[in-house]
Amino acid sequence: MQVDIAIVGAGPAGLCFARSLAGSGLRVAVLERQPHASIAAPAFDGREIALTHASRRILDDLGLWARIDPEQISDLRDARIIDGDATDGLTITAGDGRRDQLGWLVPNHLIRQAAFDTVDGLDDVELLCGVGVSGIVHRSGGVDVMLQDGRTLGARLLVAADSRFSEVRRMLGIGARSRDFGKRMLVCRVAHEKPHAHVAWEWFDYGQTLALLPLNGHRASVVLTLPPQQMREVEALDDAAFAADMQRRFRDRLGTMTTIGTRHVYPLVGVFADRFVAGRAALIGDAAVGMHPVTAHGFNLGLQGQARLAAEIREAAAAGRDIAGERMLRRYDRAHRSAAWPLFAATGLVASLYTDDRPSARLLRTATLRIANRLAPFRRAIAAHLTQGGAAK
């Protein structure tokens, strides 16, 4: 088997990248460890992905947005950040970014579904499922990807999109800064009595972090972050006891809660690859940067990165240049690194400070939010960051 580009990982980043390359004249293969059925009809995984205006524009351009049921897309108008026992907090409003809303919430499995549907059946994109990678061999002008079933896939460029725990990244000899936050994050849909007005909450409470992601109707996804032992106790609750526990944790601010979805728990590990490229290879999505979800930026960043790399490749192919040229790969590395590092570093700082319950840290937490709340330019800068990227179609 010989293709121009081999992508490892048919997650949202890998499939969006394949879609971005479709029609470029290049032959693409996407390798996925999971069986075809799991990729063709992804199961609900509890993640509600907050998408920025720039991400919506990319998803529109790739033809994904139109494939997502509008009723499953929830408006994200404003965001409120609350510290400890406070009842109010820092509010980032869409108006600060001169828009009607900060972004949208879309279930992750529907993004994956739409991404699969846009590549399924394309002549120039082949999906090979149910097979992992056992090794990589560099040869002149290309890379041989050894598959676990004994086959070999030759490619001019190898792109790793195989998650933050990327095996391909390791096979390429690329190291990564990895930080285990030592906590677990639970996500679950609930119905609640009082309206949320489409405002997302990030509540850095003492001993726990809560988030509320507003879904259409009186529904939301609640997000709870706890150390593993405490999380096991929450996981063991039945649905009614879980809803009561969440209602108590949210101090009844949304009234009665009822569990309406399944619970999903994720480990909290942040990863930043030392390099995003190697000889005839590049990393995209979480394989390059695996963000802590607290600032809801992982996939937004992954989408930007894949678009950047795809644009470089398309330009090289159209000009008859090498699609894995060193200078071109370095350009991608530089551009994506400088977009990703400030966000990654800031997210790590926020996650560390706002889960530190020592008295000195509590003072700093409160003071920082108060100052930020009074600084209109700061609030505007965040709103502008989320809403930049041009009006969505």
Ligand X SMILES: Cc1cc2nc3c(=O)[nH]c(=O)nc-3n(C[C@H](O)[C@H](O)[C@H](O)COP(=O)(O)OP(=O)(O)OC[C@H]3O[C@@H](n4cnc5c(N)ncnc54)[C@H](O)[C@@H]3O)c2cc1C
Q: How far apart are the first and last CA of the chain?
A: 39
Neighbour-count burial of 122, counting CB atoms closer than 10 A to its CB (0-12 exposed, 13-18 middle, 19+ buried): middle
- According to the binding rule CB under 6 A, does residue 33 interact with ligand X? yes
Among 11-19, 74-82, 84-92, 344-352, the segment contacting ligand X (CB under 6 A): 11-19
- According to the binding rule CB under 6 A, does residue 293 interact with ligand X? yes
Q: Which is nearer to ligand X, 150 or 320 (CB)?
A: 150
Q: Which one, of 45, 358, 88, lies nearest residue 221 by Cα? A: 45
Among 79-87, 161-169, 308-316, 370-378, the segment contacting ligand X (CB under 6 A): 161-169
Q: Which one, of 54, 44, 11, 18, lies nearest residue 300 by Cα? A: 54
Among 90-98, 255-263, 293-301, 319-327, the segment contacting ligand X (CB under 6 A): 293-301
> x/- site string to ligand X, residues 182 to 211, per CB under 6 A?
---x-x------------------------
Q: CB 336 → ligand X: shortest distance, Å?
A: 13
Q: Which one, of 39, 53, 134, 69, lies nearest residue 389 by Cα? A: 53
- Residues in contact with 39: Cβ distance below 8 Å, sequence separation at least 6, in sequence order: 10, 32, 112, 116, 127, 129
- Using alpha carbons, list the distances in angstroms from residue 303 to 11, 191, 289, 312, 314: 12, 31, 12, 14, 16
d(CA 318, CA 321): 8
Q: Which one, of 273, 277, 276, 275, lies nearest residue 325 by Cα? A: 277
Q: Annotate 271-306 with DSSP letters as a single string.
A: EEES-SEETTEEE-GGGTEE--GGG--HHHHHHHHH
- Residues in contact with 259: Cβ distance below 8 Å, sequence separation at least 6, in sequence order: 188, 189, 190, 239, 240, 242, 243
Among 120-128, 139-147, 200-208, 294-302, the segment contacting ligand X (CB under 6 A): 294-302
Neighbour-count burial of 308, counting CB atoms closer than 10 A to its CB (0-12 exposed, 13-18 middle, 19+ buried): middle
Q: Which is nearer to ligand X, 47 or 56 (CB)?
A: 47
Binding test (CB under 6 A) with ligand X, winner from 181, 299, 332, 344: 299
Binding test (CB under 6 A) with ligand X, winner from 19, 27, 47, 365: 47
Closest residue to ligand X using C-beta atoms: 11
Q: What is the Cα gyration radius of the chain?
A: 21
Binding test (CB under 6 A) with ligand X, winner from 5, 6, 9, 270: 9
Q: CB 367 → ligand X: shortest distance, Å?
A: 27
Please give the single-letter amino acid code of residue 363. L
Q: CB 334 → ligand X: shortest distance, Å?
A: 20
| Contact in structure between 81 and 366 (CB atoms under 8 Å) | no
Q: Helix (H, G, I), strand (E, B), or coil: what is residue 153?
A: strand
Please list every residue from 75 through 104 that binds ligand X, using CB under 6 A: none
Binding test (CB under 6 A) with ligand X, winner from 14, 97, 270, 348: 14
Query: How many chain residues interact with ligand X (CB under 6 A)?
Result: 33
Binding test (CB under 6 A) with ligand X, winner from 3, 5, 6, 13: 13
- According to the binding rule CB under 6 A, does residue 174 interact with ligand X? no
- According to the binding rule CB under 6 A, does residue 348 interact with ligand X? no
> x/- site string to ligand X, residues 111 to 140, per CB under 6 A?
---------------------xx-------
Q: Which is nearer to ligand X, 185 or 282 (CB)?
A: 185
- According to the binding rule CB under 6 A, does residue 161 interact with ligand X? yes
Q: Kindly list the residues in this chain that would bind ligand X in the complex (CB under 6 A).
A: 8-14, 31-34, 47, 49-50, 108, 132-133, 161-163, 167, 185, 187, 266, 285-286, 293, 296-300, 302
